[in-house]
Structure 1
Amino acid sequence: MSLKEKCSNPMTILVVFLIVTIVALLTTFIIIRSGDQEITVVVQPLVAATTVTYDTVPVDQKNISNIQKVCRSPECAILSYQLLNFRDESVNPCDDFYKHSCGKFIEHSTQESQFSRKDLILNRLIKEFVMKTKKSSSKSEQVMIDFNSVCGRYQDPENYEKMEHLAYKDLLKDIYQMGGWPMMNDGLWKSIDLSKLIYQIGRLDEKKEYINLGLFTFDFSSTRKFYIDINEHNVTSDFGSFEKLCKVAGLKCDKKDYEERIKEILEFQGKLQKLDSLLNSTSNRTITNFLILTYFQYTTYQLRSFVNDACERQLLKFFPRASYRIFARNHFNKENLQAVSNLVNDFKKGYIEMFEESTWIHEETKKKAIEKVEKMEKMIGYPEEMEKPGALDATFETINFTKNSSAHEILSEISRHGIQQFMDFVSSDTIPDLSRLELKTNAYYSPKENMLVVLLPFIDDPFMDYSFPKYAQIATAGALISHEIGHGFDSKSIKYNWKGEKEKWMEKEDLKEYKKRVECLILQYDKYEDPDLGRVMNGTKNRYELLADDLGAEVAWRAFKKSEAESDEKIFGFEDYPLDKLFFHLKALKMCSGRSQPYWITSNHPTHSFRVNGVLSNMKQFAEAFNCPVGSPMNPETKCEIF
């Protein structure tokens, strides 16, 4: 509230009036009481260099020191709030540490988890930016503004039919440029130029990981290599969208004939694994129908998403790099980048130390494992090349649409531009890989590049801040980053060497023991009884995450013990709390979520409760910190250890 608003508040005026009245009454009372007494005023000369001394109150210097060592940043205040309010102290930490740390999370959040809450905030930040910015000198920003304008009009019920008609009209125009579609029975299709048609229907998938060319795909997987795979696109019968196209073309399409053509296409699709012989034995008409149908169905799916998905979500989906740039420029504290880079270096040292101290792997295996860690690359936030002014905008110079373009024109242009970016990257050794930059709360490890990627939202509030004490940085976002490094040694990535090439670098005897230890984690998860879902987990499906969790926790603890935590700033409310215990509370904090949902049964990730209880029950350091008796849920007699 402004000063003007405060002064005009009726309650403020009343309070001021009462204070003035009371002061006046007291003054009058004093004058009346002193009226009968002679008042003598004594004036003394001012003496130069007079020294005035005051009594002082002894100060406890130790307490001042403690106060000065409490982290006072807003981010630390939020961290303190979460630690104090998410926990349920009625639950014994040795029985269920997840509930002990997160039992009251649901009382303080409307979102399923802190990750989903962060993603929602990201959506809103991008929406706010494009809504308030009408014109921008940045090419990437202007593209997003124009897209949002068209999306908004498309989702307006009053404009929908007109906008859809324009989109289908442009789609029909593209199909005619492909030579026509036999299924439409309009007499325009004559023959097929297979190479040209495959080029014309090429499109970038939603995840921007491969180019779909109808019969096959180019899979890039974020490397300069690409793989050709047989297309597994599932053709479906969608007569409704086909009928709309016919209507725009001024045709009356027969449903029975449409279904006959679909049947032919499905038979063709089922034989795609034998592509060479299939092309020679199949009519050009059926091949054309198949290729254009896959293109048509994907395009109409995108048009439906244009209506059903919130515009801000589509902005993040279609313009991940531009959205990333907006977040980095307007909402991210770059001081976090160096803090996280330092953490990664600490964790790499921890992994090397863990391998050196392992009692069961042979020296040659240790050497290869350490080499993989030492040469693991990292991308924290974004490539260095993106720091240059205009670096991202330069990649948008070739994308062309305006706020007057149709939805189909825009989606086609986005796909064309994306394919061009991919091909430029694959054919060059100097163009940076921007495909990793997505505005998501995520970090990941790429085995084919032996690279750790940490995205900006993952190292932002509430997961990380440079103002956090070092031990808090390690236990929160740090522990999750340590987990991602651990993926370099999970059951899938263990097959790749430090160059990202497939190699059996573990000694046979070591590999056998390794698999035995991974099996311990699998069985442990199979037997886990989730408080919401019961005992329905599949450890085999989750084995990669289980192992990364286990390794990540071990190495994060090592980094914590080397961080000189005792001399670091305290977190408010935990000034006298043992730091070993606080480390585990901080680690559990980022896994706090609502009730486990049924989708966790088929998810590749373990439930959040297991990622706390299961992982920490394998750590003797946890049992020692909380003095958990042997045989208690959080200190089982049998523990799983990897390296």
Structure 2
Amino acid sequence: MNERDTENSRLLSSTQNLEVEEDGEEEGDDNEKVSKCCIYPLISIIICLVIIAICMGAVIVFWRMDSAPQAICKTDHNKTRDVCKTAECITLSSTLLNWQNTNIDPCEDFYEYSCGRYQEHTLNDGIRANEKDTIVMKLIRQFVLKNQSTTSNSENALMLLYEKCSLRYRMENRHQETEVIQREVFENIRKIGSWPIADKNWNSSHFNLNNMLSNMASIHMLPFGLFETRVIELYPMNTTAKQLVIRPTKLKFSIPQEELVRAIRDLLSVNGITSIMKKVKEDVAESFALDKEIGNIHIDPQPKPATLSELQKAVPDIDFERIIKSYLNPKTGNWSSLRTKIFSARFELFFGKNNNLSSIIARTKPRILANYLFLKYIEYAYFFFFDNTKVFSDDDFCTEVVTTSLPRASLRVFVRNHFKKENMAVASEIVEVVKTAYVEIINNSTWLHNSTRESAIEKVVKMKKVIGYTEEYERTGALDEMFETLQLSRSDSFFVLMTKVNRFKIEQLMDFVSSDSLLNPIEPLVMANAFYFPTKNLLNVLVPFLDKPLFDFKYPRYVAMAGVGRVLAHEIGHAFDINGRQTDEIGRTRDWWTREDTEEYDRRSECFAEQFTNFKDPSFKGKQNGTEVLAEIIADALGMEASWIAFKKINLTEEQGLIQFEDHDFGKLYFQVAALDFCAPSRIEERYSDQLSHPTNKFRINGAFSNSRAFADTYKCPVGSKMNPVQRCDMF
């Protein structure tokens, strides 16, 4: 029986009792009794229904109140702000919420306010860009481990090299693989020429210096000990954008003498040569003495330029053209173009009056010269047959080998499988917006003279950029066509593969020098970073830096400007740091500043240096020297100002908010997002007390942001607070 039936039953019972009590009344009252008996139950039923309806309504109201959001954020038009709900935006919101410590006053310590709980939510031992590096490496490793069948030349090379590397450094293979490599090294030695140490019948009349050097070049050697060839994208000789420069080698023997003696004896023993072991130590000592003699000749950091012809006259014993031709691929190499880009300089080793390379060659015995060159090759090969599995047993080691050896193939794997190409287009637009902001900063400078101002603006306008990679790689199959000259075989050992890969890289490097390409084929490409090259006036932004969580083309524009935009603005700021300001719009070293402007620049730079020197960072135990990291401090300051100017030009009424930050001021979000790039673990260990290459992460937020008036205004920091000091540093 339900409540309504119970209630009706009670009403019926009470009516029946009433009839019994009134039974003796007059007959005329019977109609009244009947009327009352009919009305009372009806009234009771109506009352019950009303009460039930009221209760149900109350339950619904309270249920809706309980399930509704605690705070509904509205715009000035009483309309809920739209929020970004992409996976990347949700991750960003989570990062902001998890890392921040709202118990800290942002006007006193914005680093702790933004990053105070960073260590509670990550195992990463660095900033989030370091974590992205780790992720990219794991993705590439995952790809090569799948070892899927493919028709791609570059992918096949990547997978085969990883497989052979893993076999080489597997614990059970180490002894056998070491001996295989030692035999292969010896085969290459025979290709170079006759080695006095290994040939008891060696005759100096058979020694030909240029034959040996050319054969070493064919194997892929760039540093020969006597000299080295290096690709320099500078302007030290003329206005050629890329040059192959012949210069004294800076690399001396890095392996201790006794260790090299042991390595040579092992090498000879494995190859069945034991009869001349006694002389090895003496021969090695003579090579070290020659290395020291060459190294003692001063290397001028800014020598006057010299043409290849002038160098050839100064050092007639070495046929430089023949040696460099050996670098080229016989089918694809362009000697006529490369020849115009080979230069040297009037280094003392080449052009010195008394003690120079020609005189050293003339007075050095052929046996010593021959051994010296062979030892240079053995030193290179030593890395491969050096048996230290403890050092190289890490699973990630071979991933690093393949990404370093084949950077473009590694990049292709990441781009094709994990990257949104739309990110590059948006990032390219951000660069142009930031460059416009820099022009505004320079134009608004109160102290630059017109000539300096015009040169600075010209440098910004003519700055080149590589966003991700260059156009020649966009065409389908373009990279695989370049890899057609790399002929690898499954029967090749790890060492043979690396010899072929390094030879391939040298050929590609020569093609790069000969061409107009801006993407150096041997530079690392799979790291989350961006660079500014003052000697090229070039901004280079690598693909992993343009990927989640650092960047996504669907991010609200203010988020993109605060994150990637601020970093790109920082890199562009290096064009005007203490080093970058010494080069012009095409990268030439040239003083385009007036004397008065140079003095003012130095005065303002000193403010930044003193600021960092006096900054107390409890996580760093070493001595903070602002002069040593001044270039980075200036780039931080300029980058912050430029990206803020660009941010202020965004139409924020059209921008989406972030979850849990719907009613957050966009200006505050800008600074908090910008701070994320410097969140890092607190380091108080001795191993982090070495000389700094960059300011501490805490300073890169608190120091740089405290110099921003925009920050103080946005957070309404009182004058005299740590983030709104009375005295600030600024550049322009």
Q: Is 1:606 equivalent to 2:617 in the alignment?
A: no
Pair 1:100–1:303, CA change in 2 (3 A): farther
- Looking at structure 2, the residues matched to 422 and 600 of structure 1 have their Cα atoms a distance apart, in angstroms, of 38
Give the match for residue 233 of structure 1.
251
- Tell me which of 72, 75, 84 is aligned to 2:85: 72
- Looking at structure 1, the residues matched to 545 and 518 of structure 2 have their Cα atoms a distance apart, in angstroms, of 25
Q: Describe how 1:543-554 pairs up with structure 2 within 5 A.
A: 543-554=630-641
Deviation at 1:540, TM superposition (A): 2.0
Report the secondary structure of 1:397's partner residue: helix
Pair 1:150–1:96, CA change in 2 (3 A): same
Pair 1:302–1:593, CA change in 2 (3 A): farther
Pair 1:332–1:242, CA change in 2 (3 A): same
1:530-553 C-alpha deviation (Å, 9 max, x unpaired): 221246122222121111111111
Q: Describe how 1:429-440 pairs up with structure 2 within 5 A.
A: 429=516, 433-436=520-523, 438-440=525-527
Give the match for residue 269 of structure 1.
291
- Tell me which of 404, 407, 415 is aligned to 1:320: 407
Deviation at 1:264, TM superposition (A): 2.2
Whether the 8 Å contact between 2:222 and 2:228 is mirrored in structure 1 is yes
1:565-623 C-alpha deviation (Å, 9 max, x unpaired): 24310011111122222111111011111123644632322221111111111112112
Whether the 8 Å contact between 2:470 and 2:518 is mirrored in structure 1 is no
Give the match for residue 460 of structure 2.
373
Q: Describe how 1:475-624 pairs up with structure 2 within 5 A.
A: 475-534=562-621, 536-596=623-683, 598-599=687-688, 601-624=690-713
- Tell me which of 216, 223, 233 is aligned to 1:212: 223
Give the match for residue 173 of structure 1.
187
1:65-95 C-alpha deviation (Å, 9 max, x unpaired): 8556100000000100110011122222222
Pair 1:107–1:288, CA change in 2 (3 A): same
- Looking at structure 2, the residues matched to 442 and 595 of structure 1 have their Cα atoms a distance apart, in angstroms, of 22
Report the secondary structure of 1:423's partner residue: helix
Q: Is 1:242 equivalent to 2:264 in the alignment?
A: yes
- Tell me which of 359, 376, 379 is aligned to 2:446: 359
- Looking at structure 2, the residues matched to 392 and 87 of structure 1 have their Cα atoms a distance apart, in angstroms, of 44
- Looking at structure 1, the residues matched to 388 and 455 of structure 2 have their Cα atoms a distance apart, in angstroms, of 49
1:248-272 C-alpha deviation (Å, 9 max, x unpaired): 2212387774443333223212222
Give the match for residue 214 of structure 2.
199
Deviation at 1:304, TM superposition (A): 4.4
- Looking at structure 1, the residues matched to 384 and 561 of structure 2 have their Cα atoms a distance apart, in angstroms, of 42
- Looking at structure 1, the residues matched to 410 and 169 of structure 2 have their Cα atoms a distance apart, in angstroms, of 21
- Looking at structure 2, the residues matched to 203 and 119 of structure 1 have their Cα atoms a distance apart, in angstroms, of 34
- Tell me which of 363, 375, 394 is aligned to 1:293: 375
The one-letter code matched in structure 1 to 2:373 is L
Whether the 8 Å contact between 1:69 and 1:570 is mirrored in structure 2 is yes
- Looking at structure 2, the residues matched to 231 and 318 of structure 1 have their Cα atoms a distance apart, in angstroms, of 22
- Looking at structure 2, the residues matched to 66 and 315 of structure 1 have their Cα atoms a distance apart, in angstroms, of 54
Report the secondary structure of 2:515's partner residue: coil
Pair 1:333–1:527, CA change in 2 (3 A): same
- Looking at structure 1, the residues matched to 116 and 481 of structure 2 have their Cα atoms a distance apart, in angstroms, of 49
Report the secondary structure of 2:527's partner residue: coil
Give the match for residue 7 of structure 1.
none
- Looking at structure 2, the residues matched to 99 and 258 of structure 1 have their Cα atoms a distance apart, in angstroms, of 61
% identity of equivalent residues? 33
- Looking at structure 1, the residues matched to 711 and 555 of structure 2 have their Cα atoms a distance apart, in angstroms, of 22
1:352-372 C-alpha deviation (Å, 9 max, x unpaired): 000000000001111010011
1:285-309 C-alpha deviation (Å, 9 max, x unpaired): 2222222112111211144499616
Q: Is 1:332 equivalent to 2:332 in the alignment?
A: no
Report the secondary structure of 1:444's partner residue: strand
Deviation at 1:432, TM superposition (A): 6.1
Q: Is 1:110 equivalent to 2:127 in the alignment?
A: no
Whether the 8 Å contact between 1:87 and 1:102 is mirrored in structure 2 is yes
- Tell me which of 140, 144, 154 is aligned to 1:130: 144
Whether the 8 Å contact between 1:86 and 1:105 is mirrored in structure 2 is yes
After the TM superposition, which of the residue ranges 71-80 and 290-299 deviates more from structure 2? Answer: 290-299
Deviation at 1:630, TM superposition (A): 2.8
- Looking at structure 2, the residues matched to 183 and 546 of structure 1 have their Cα atoms a distance apart, in angstroms, of 54
Whether the 8 Å contact between 1:600 and 1:607 is mirrored in structure 2 is no
- Looking at structure 1, the residues matched to 515 and 654 of structure 2 have their Cα atoms a distance apart, in angstroms, of 49
Deviation at 1:458, TM superposition (A): 0.5
- Looking at structure 1, the residues matched to 690 and 707 of structure 2 have their Cα atoms a distance apart, in angstroms, of 22
Whether the 8 Å contact between 1:204 and 1:419 is mirrored in structure 2 is no
The one-letter code matched in structure 2 to 1:610 is F
- Looking at structure 1, the residues matched to 275 and 654 of structure 2 have their Cα atoms a distance apart, in angstroms, of 78
- Looking at structure 2, the residues matched to 454 and 496 of structure 1 have their Cα atoms a distance apart, in angstroms, of 20
Pair 1:65–1:264, CA change in 2 (3 A): farther
Deviation at 1:247, TM superposition (A): 1.6
- Looking at structure 2, the residues matched to 618 and 430 of structure 1 have their Cα atoms a distance apart, in angstroms, of 39
Whether the 8 Å contact between 1:320 and 1:439 is mirrored in structure 2 is yes
- Looking at structure 2, the residues matched to 147 and 590 of structure 1 have their Cα atoms a distance apart, in angstroms, of 34
Pair 1:626–1:535, CA change in 2 (3 A): farther
After the TM superposition, which of the residue ranges 298-307 and 524-533 deviates more from structure 2? Answer: 298-307
Report the secondary structure of 1:226's partner residue: strand
- Looking at structure 2, the residues matched to 535 and 431 of structure 1 have their Cα atoms a distance apart, in angstroms, of 39
Pair 1:446–1:303, CA change in 2 (3 A): farther
- Looking at structure 1, the residues matched to 625 and 287 of structure 2 have their Cα atoms a distance apart, in angstroms, of 37
Whether the 8 Å contact between 2:181 and 2:495 is mirrored in structure 1 is yes
Report the secondary structure of 1:590's partner residue: helix
- Tell me which of 475, 484, 493 is aligned to 1:388: 475
Report the secondary structure of 1:227's partner residue: strand
Q: Is 1:93 equivalent to 2:106 in the alignment?
A: yes
Which residues of structure 2 form unaligned runs of 5+?
10-63, 234-240, 298-348, 350-356
Give the match for residue 467 of structure 1.
554
Pair 1:553–1:253, CA change in 2 (3 A): farther
Report the secondary structure of 1:394's partner residue: helix
Q: Describe how 1:135-150 pairs up with structure 2 within 5 A.
A: 135-150=149-164
- Looking at structure 2, the residues matched to 586 and 463 of structure 1 have their Cα atoms a distance apart, in angstroms, of 10
- Looking at structure 2, the residues matched to 204 and 121 of structure 1 have their Cα atoms a distance apart, in angstroms, of 34
TM-score by length of 1: 0.86
- Looking at structure 2, the residues matched to 623 and 580 of structure 1 have their Cα atoms a distance apart, in angstroms, of 11
Whether the 8 Å contact between 2:96 and 2:673 is mirrored in structure 1 is yes
Report the secondary structure of 1:212's partner residue: coil
The one-letter code matched in structure 2 to 1:418 is K
- Looking at structure 1, the residues matched to 669 and 511 of structure 2 have their Cα atoms a distance apart, in angstroms, of 49
Pair 1:254–1:610, CA change in 2 (3 A): farther
- In terms of Rg, which structure is larger? 2
After the TM superposition, which of the residue ranges 424-433 and 566-575 deviates more from structure 2? Answer: 424-433
Alignment coverage as a number of residue pairs: 591
- Looking at structure 1, the residues matched to 178 and 691 of structure 2 have their Cα atoms a distance apart, in angstroms, of 37
Report the secondary structure of 1:379's partner residue: strand
- Looking at structure 2, the residues matched to 340 and 600 of structure 1 have their Cα atoms a distance apart, in angstroms, of 36
Which residues of structure 1 form unaligned runs of 5+?
1-28, 38-56
